Amino acid sequence: MKLLPLMFVFFGVSLCEVGNISEDDDIELERQVKMMNRPPVKTFVTEVGDTIDCIDIDKQPSLQHPLLKNHKVQKEPTLHLTGFGGNFSHTKSIQFGYKESCPVGTVPIPRITKKDLIRARALPRMPSSTAAGQDALQSNQHVLSLSLSLWVVSLTEDMTENTKYGVYGRLSTYNITVAHDQFSSHNLWIETGPKDHISMIAAGWMVSPQLYGDSLSRFFIYWTGNGYRDGCYNLLCPGFVLVDKELPFTEPLPVSTYGGDQYEVLIQIEQVYHSKFLQFVKNLSTNFPSDQDHKTGNWWLILFDDQTKIGYWPKELFLYLRDGSRHVAWGGVGLADSNGFCPPMGSGHKPDGNFKHATFIRRLQWIDAKGVPLLPSDKVSKWVDKTLVYDLQYHSKLWRRTFGHWIAYGGPGGYCRL
Ligand SMILES: *[C@@H]1O[C@H](CO)[C@@H](O)[C@H](O)[C@H]1NC(C)=O
Ligand SMILES: *[C@@H]1O[C@H](CO)[C@@H](O)[C@H](O)[C@H]1NC(C)=O
Ligand SMILES: *[C@@H]1O[C@H](CO)[C@@H](O)[C@H](O)[C@H]1NC(C)=O
Ligand SMILES: *[C@@H]1O[C@H](CO)[C@@H](O)[C@H](O)[C@H]1NC(C)=O
């Protein structure tokens, strides 16, 4: 595996606070902004004032990634997707996208400014859901001594005998207020590998002034292929290949109200490389046609009830996650500010058993080698970093058939250094 000097420099140093920028740094930022902004076919401004450039799908900035030099964009995947069910009369599925869409053959890329890159550099990496628990158990001191405190609340499917080829969940959304140097994320994880070289994908919704420049609840993705030496949030670095022309990345989401309407966003991440499935089918038919989609091993991001294929993380990006994943997880992350205050997470209320009170992720499922969605095993581990300010409840009994297995989690936040 080649190291990526480029990514290393720009995204590996994201832990330091950025104050004054040196001249060299400034030149690099300019260069990067230039690299990430390709000549648009069309440009439009969204309702909340984001500038979106429609870029030729074959010239999108992600293809500048050194590992994707000869990458051919997989435009029309014939994924064999399984439905996950779960329509429920007391929740509303979010179907979001830009009001204006891009011309055929182009994809909508939020314009990146130098300011965006500087703000994003100050943003800490997405923590691993499996490492969170281990770190804290091994040495609480270690976690506490970090100047940036990231606290994880999660349910991890840990039965490593089961290789996971995907994860699914329906996440309820809320408005919450966080300080400029805090963030609160609510997401699914896919991750494999030792801590220092972990490969990870995350997707969900987040409130992060540092990432977005405001406090709206917005969709986000994150990836790293090799222990944070590469990768980034959203489309701030090359990697994620967009296919849908109505990308909802930076769009603010409709939100639920405490005790009232519940809005949920459906997220599915699936690797379309079922080696065992292939073997299985080949056993059935020696004349099995070579199915390109089953060979690429790309991890697809699929949203909404209608299973819109947004785009994918090419397999080449990852040191691990090449043939399935050992772990999948559901939960949230709170980034405490420098004074030791944790942000609210979810609805700002701890779970109390009522799905309209705390934020939830429901219909928890993972996908096996044959593409079949399955319920979490009995080897799930529940992790709550700061029980004073956050909590998580796992409901593994089918409460209502359509609701599925679910977690409710989050809390009000508050002082959490001790
Ligand atoms: C930036 O540089 C200026 C002038 O050199 C200095 O006054 C200011 O305190 C510096 N700011 C930071 C955040 O270091
Ligand atoms: C769920 O409901 C939505 C809108 O009510 C509908 O468009 C969608 O097809 C339904 N999905 C399934 C899997 O029944
Ligand atoms: C959530 O916040 C946004 C932005 O401040 C606002 O427009 C929206 O009405 C709020 N929604 C609810 C349900 O409070
Ligand atoms: C396919 O056939 C091979 C050889 O006969 C066997 O070892 C393997 O277990 C089979 N795989 C599946 C998934 O049935």
> Percent of the chain scored above 70 by pLDDT?
83
Any ligand 4 atom below 6 A from CB of 415? no
Task: Tell me the C-alpha to C-alpha distance, in Å, between residue 43 and each of 99, 105, 246, 383, 403.
Answer: 13, 14, 13, 44, 41
Banded pLDDT at 285 (limits 50, 70, 90): low
**Domain assignment present for 115:** no
Any ligand 2 atom below 6 A from CB of 87? yes
Residue 223 in 3-state DSSP? strand
For 357-405, the pLDDT digits (tens) are 999 999 999 988 777 889 998 888 888 887 889 999 999 876 677 889 9
> What whole-number distance in Å separates Cα of residue 302 and Cα of residue 311?
8
**Domain assignment present for 113:** no
Domain count, the chain: 1
Show the CA angle centred on residue 288, arms to residues 276 and 160, nearest 5°: 5
Using CA positions, which residue lies closest to atom 3 of ligand 1? 20
Mutate to test the pocket of ligand 2, among 87, 90, 266 (most ligand atoms within 8 A of CB): 87
pLDDT above 80 (res 329): yes
Q: Which ligand is nearest to the CA of 175?
A: 3
**Domain assignment present for 91:** yes
Q: Which ligand is nearest to the CA of 118?
A: 1
**Domain assignment present for 326:** yes
Highest mean pLDDT pick, 67-81, 110-124, 220-234: 220-234
Q: Tell me which of 8 and 385 has the higher pLDDT.
A: 385
Banded pLDDT at 278 (limits 50, 70, 90): low
In which domain, by residue range, is 290 found? 79-107+125-415
Q: Which ligand is nearest to the CA of 174?
A: 3
Mutate to test the pocket of ligand 3, among 178, 255, 261, 356 (most ligand atoms within 8 A of CB): 255
Q: Which ligand is nearest to the CA of 217?
A: 3
**Domain assignment present for 67:** no
**Domain assignment present for 250:** yes
Quickly tell me which residue has 């969709």 as its tokens: 219
Banded pLDDT at 99 (limits 50, 70, 90): confident
DSSP code per residue over 134-202: HHHHH-HHHHHHSSSEEEEEEEEE--TTS-B-EEEEEEE-------TT-EEEEEEEEEES-GGG-EEEE
Structure tokens at 143: 């976690």
Any ligand 2 atom below 6 A from CB of 305? yes
Banded pLDDT at 135 (limits 50, 70, 90): low
> Percent of the chain scored above 90 by pLDDT?
55
Distance (angstroms) between ligand 3 centre and the Cα of 256 equals 9
Task: Tell me the C-alpha to C-alpha distance, in Å, between residue 9 and each of 12, 25, 64, 228, 240.
Answer: 6, 10, 16, 11, 19
Distance (angstroms) between ligand 3 centre and the Cα of 176 equals 9
Distance (angstroms) between ligand 4 centre and the Cα of 282 equals 9
Any ligand 4 atom below 6 A from CB of 287? no
Phi–psi pair at 388, nearest 5 degrees: -65, -35
- What confidence score (pLDDT) does residue 382 get? 87
**Domain assignment present for 219:** yes
Taking the CA of residue 256 as reference, the ligand 3 atom at the shortest distance is 13
- What confidence score (pLDDT) does residue 79 get? 62
For 300-328, the pLDDT digits (tens) are 999 988 888 899 999 999 999 998 999 99
pLDDT above 90 (res 236): yes
Banded pLDDT at 9 (limits 50, 70, 90): very low
Banded pLDDT at 85 (limits 50, 70, 90): confident
**Domain assignment present for 284:** yes
